Structure 1
Amino acid sequence: MKRRTFSRLAALALAASVAGAPALAQEVLKIGAVAPKTGPLAGGAAVSYWPNVKLWINDVNARGGLKVGATTYKLEAIEYDDQTNPGETIKAVQRLVDQDKVKVVLPPYSTGLNLAAAPIYARYGLPMITSTATTDKADELSKQFPNVFITLGGAKPTVASVVETMVKLKERGDIGNKLAMVNVADAFGIELMGEAKPAFKEAGFELVYETSYPLGTQDLSPVMKAAKAAAPDAFIAWSYPPDTFALTEQAIVEDLKVGAFFTAVATAFPAYAGRFGAGAEGVLGIGGVHADGDAFKEYAARHEQVTGAKPDYWASAMVYSSFQILEKSIEAVGSFDNAAIIKHVKDNSFDTVIGPIKFDENNNNAAFWTVGQWQDGVFKGVASTGRDGAVEVKKKGAWQ
């Protein structure tokens, strides 16, 4: 039996060589991945992060493996659940490097967990090409941790795009100037809320209601009741997946009448439109993609084929793109020399499923999607800091 198995594998390898197909990987390379599988952010990671770990490893292996110098590796993942707990993220990274002896560790999920884990990645000298972190601390981070790269940009440009979108709606007469704004009390929501309040005031908006709520809050009905009582013209939430869904649910229950309704992370999830149906039409959210572009369509089709699920219309493609950058840099360097890999990431431009990515002097990607909107069952990008394919923003209709 063993001899027949060997002969069959040898024949397959010879056939692949003759046909010009990728050679079979000779060694296994363990890839470390740390993100929530439990806790408040598990749902978001299950949509944007974990499926792309699977897809990327599948795609690399389908091409024959990761070629590092003279060796070609088949990739396999070692996955750890950080339970949406920064301390567990840090411990998992340590375990991957010290006990599992992995050479490659993918970045964590979410702004807070990435910021918390940055020092441990730096201690080990690991490239940390973040894909789900939005922060204005890129310049500060790059000085302290030159191994950290930010792909989703900062709070300032994101807020600026949201303000510009609301100003456009106001100038068209679709909304007035009264605004209700809330945030999740996590690094992501706190930073965005801090930028948004003065920015909206400067743009001529009146903040008639504001509040924050703890990460993992189950009942957000008091928040929406108070927001409705303030009679806003537009509602904005710097929210994470559980609260994005809960706030929308409560807005429908309360029949919140606004010309613009904006929620943040998870608005771009296919499950959002699946849950709210026609009520999702016109809802605005953070992110977006060039939904009609060939690159995203091809990626989305492959994502669904391999993982059995549709990608979201924002972070999913960026997560995959960050893995592409790491892959290309390792192969270009031809070794696992992390200092050389980091330098290659910093010095080069990369073609990815989201489009070209080039980091500036502060290790920050300057071109990213900022605002999207559900239109005809697709979450389409309506604003960005330099991406092609934006569509015109529409007024939010009544809840259906």
Structure 2
Amino acid sequence: MLRRTFIALAASAAAIMAAGAPAFAQDVIRLGASAPKSGPLAGGAAVTHWPNIQLWMKEVNDAGGLKVGDKQMKLELIEYDDKTNGEEAIKNIQRLATVDKVDFIVTPYSTGLNIATAPIIARYGYPHITTSAATDGVTEFAKRWPNSFWMLGTSSQLANGVVQALTKLKDAGAIGNKVALVNVADAFGLELVGAAKPAITAAGFEIVYESSYPLGTQDLAPVISGAKAAAPDAFVAFSYPGDTFALTEQAQVQGLEVGAFYTGVGTAFPAFAGRFKEAANGILGIGGVNSEDEAVKAYLAKHQEVTGATPDYWASATTYAGLQVLGQAIEKAGSLDKAAVVEAIRTGTFDTIIGQISMPENVNRNVWTVGQWDNGIFKAVAADGLPVAGDPVKKPAWQ
């Protein structure tokens, strides 16, 4: 189902006539977006993806638009639901490029959907700034699709962040060396578990339980039951939002006794802390932000003010930063020429809410990797190239 959101509007014809000026159409930059509004990843996109597009467009348009050469151009958005389906996403991109003829395309949502659509986005030459895709294929993908830019980090970075956090806890005597490891069986989960297993064992941990489950699985009680029977010291799940919540709930119901409990996408969502309240304290998860940074604090407040919701404490900030990169690159290029904007991204340095970003090899290497809930804030406790808000501590608080 198509919903057209026109954020940039010209003054009304009546007002123009009253001012004695001729009625010309407003110059706009037409953006296209395809991401889940239904299907298993709709909840995640509703938190991380769509609100940040809304926020960025409002801020740009309120400031008069982007300066493109000698024009000040406002933004207009055409958006589609990809239904968490790769084929649907490809159809949407095709339509945005050939029917709607948009000037630029906003990144899809999730690792799988970004990889699925990367070839067609490249075919039409659009800059593709991914902000919710984590994969060790970034170097290969950047060479295959030189219009693509990868901002959220690699699977190895994220997996190594988990090992870094667990090692700190083990070295402090807070946990032992037995780990239960589970994953959702899609591109994201398979990439992460593939990177994590050798890193976990190399760090001196023993994997005492492994399990994988299909995307959209509703009943995860058997996974927690199996993990509990293995008596691990730490539980690690590379999960998506629905299963992140379900795994955490089942861990509480079944009394999974571990000193470190880590889940994937969705752990950083405000709704996670809202759902589990004080029991969320101490839970580790993918991502995090440096909650002590003033730019991050200002972004969190502005997101709440404009969208009426708190952003997640990981990919939301990166999604917004990716849009900042796109806007600044358009202005640097001084043109809507897609190739010129791609080159501006490849060669430029950009000021964003997560710090200065440059991607000479089409990859952002500075990322937060692990966060931990602490009284309503999901604070970064592990990172690669970025400051964190503190060290990990033992416990899920429900024990």
TM over 0.5: yes
Q: Determine whether 1:41 maps to 2:51.
A: no
Letter in 1 for 2:16: F
CA distance in structure 1 between the aligned counterparts of 2:18 and 2:226, rounded to whole angstroms = 69
Quick one: distance in 1 between partners of 2:174 and 2:396?
Answer: 10
Partner residue, 2:6: none
Identity score, percent: 58
Q: CA RMSD in A?
A: 1.7
Which residue in the other structure is 1:235 paired with? Answer: 235
Structure 1 residue 70: Cα displacement: 2.1
Contact 2:131 2:152 in 1 (8 A): yes
The answer to whether the Cα contact below 8 Å between 2:130 and 2:150 also exists between their aligned partners in 1 is yes
Counterpart for residue 65 of structure 1: 65
The answer on whether the counterparts of 1:208 and 1:232 sit within 8 Å (CA) in structure 2 is yes
Q: Point out where structure 1 has 5 or more consecutive residues left out of the alignment.
A: 12-23
Question: How far does the alpha carbon of each residue in 1:210-253 deviate from its partner, in whole angstroms, 9 at most, with x for none?
Answer: 01000000110111111111111100000011100010010010
Query: Secondary structure of 1:164's partner?
Result: helix
- Judge which range, 155-164 or 115-124, deviates more: 155-164
Q: CA deviation at 1:72?
A: 2.0
Residue 281 of structure 2 contacts residue 397 of structure 2 at CA under 8 Å; is this kept in 1?
no
2:16 is matched with which residue?
A: 6
Aligned residue for 2:372? Answer: 373
The residue correspondences of 1:264-279 to structure 2 (distance < 5 A) are 264-279=264-279
Equivalents in 2 of 1:274, 1:8: separation in Å? 52
Residues 64 and 397 of structure 1: CA distance in aligned 2, closer, same or farther (over 3 Å):
same
Contact 1:373 1:382 in 2 (8 A): yes
Q: Report deviation, 1:3.
A: 7.9
Q: Which runs of 4+ in 1 moved over 6 A?
A: 7-11
Cα distance in 1 between the residues matched to 2:130 and 2:161: 21
Q: Equivalents in 2 of 1:76, 1:334: separation in Å?
A: 18
TM-score by length of 1: 0.93
Report the counterpart of residue 153 of structure 1 in structure 2: 153
Instruction: Check conservation: 2:282, 2:397, Cα contact below 8 A.
Output: no
Cα distance in 2, alignment partners of residues 398 and 326 from structure 1 = 41
Cα deviation, 1:72-105, whole Å, max 9, x if unaligned, reads 2221211100000011111101101111111111
Unpaired runs of 5+ residues, structure 2, are 1-11
Per-residue Cα deviation, 1:321-362 (whole angstroms, up to 9, x for no partner): 10110100111111111111111111111110111111142x
Cα displacement string for residues 98-134 of structure 1 (whole angstroms, at most 9, x for unaligned residues):
1111111101000000011110011001100100000
1:341 equivalent to 2:341? Answer yes
Once residues 9 and 248 of structure 1 are traced to their aligned partners in structure 2, the CA distance between those partners, rounded to angstroms, is 61
- Structure 2: how far apart are the matches of 1:289 and 1:52? 16
Q: In 1, distance between residues paired with 2:20 and 2:373?
A: 52
Instruction: Verify the 8 A CA contact 2:104 2:338 in the aligned structure 1.
Output: no
Distance 1:99 1:195 in 2: 40
Partner of 1:384: 383
Give the counterpart letter for 1:227 in structure 2. Answer: A
What does residue 301 of structure 1 align with? 301
Verify the 8 A CA contact 1:304 1:311 in the aligned structure 2: yes
| CA displacement at 1:41 relative to structure 2 | 0.3
Q: How does 1:141-220 map to 2 (within 5 A)?
A: 141-220=141-220
CA contact 1:293–1:389 (8 Å) conserved in 2: no
In the TM superposition, residue 388 of structure 1 has moved relative to its aligned partner by 2.0
How far off its partner does 1:71 sit? Answer: 2.2
C-alpha distance in structure 1 between counterparts of 2:262 and 2:98, whole Å = 43
Measured in 1, the distance between the counterparts of 2:130 and 2:28 equals 25
The 2-side partners of 1:304 and 1:235 are apart by 32
- CA deviation map 1:38-89 (0-9, x unaligned): 0000000000000011111101101101221122222121110000001111
Using the TM superposition, name which of 288-297 and 238-247 deviates more.
Answer: 288-297
1:332 partner amino acid: K
Partner residue, 1:16: none
Tell me if 1:108 matches 2:108: yes
Task: Write the deviation string for residues 14-50 of structure 1: whole angstroms up to 9, x where unpaired.
Answer: xxxxxxxxxx993233210110000000000000000
Measure the CA separation in 1 of the matches of 2:373 and 2:250: 19
User: Aligned pair in 2 of structure 1 residues 170, 74: CA closer, same or farther (>3 Å)?
Assistant: same
Q: How does 1:308-347 map to 2 (within 5 A)?
A: 308-347=308-347
1:114 maps to amino acid: N
> Take 2:396 and 2:141, find their aligned partners in 1: how far apart are those partners?
41
Q: TM-score, normalised by structure 2?
A: 0.94
Task: Tell me if the contact between 2:129 and 2:149 (Cα under 8 Å) persists in the aligned partners.
Answer: yes
- What is aligned with 2:395? 396
Deviation at 1:153, TM superposition (A): 1.0
- Does the 8 Å contact 1:26/1:72 carry over to 2? no
CA distance, structure 2, for counterparts of residue 312 and residue 55 of structure 1: 14
Residues 119 and 145 of structure 2 are in contact (CA less than 8 Å); yes or no, is this contact kept in structure 1? yes
* 2:292–2:389 Cα contact (<8 Å) kept: no
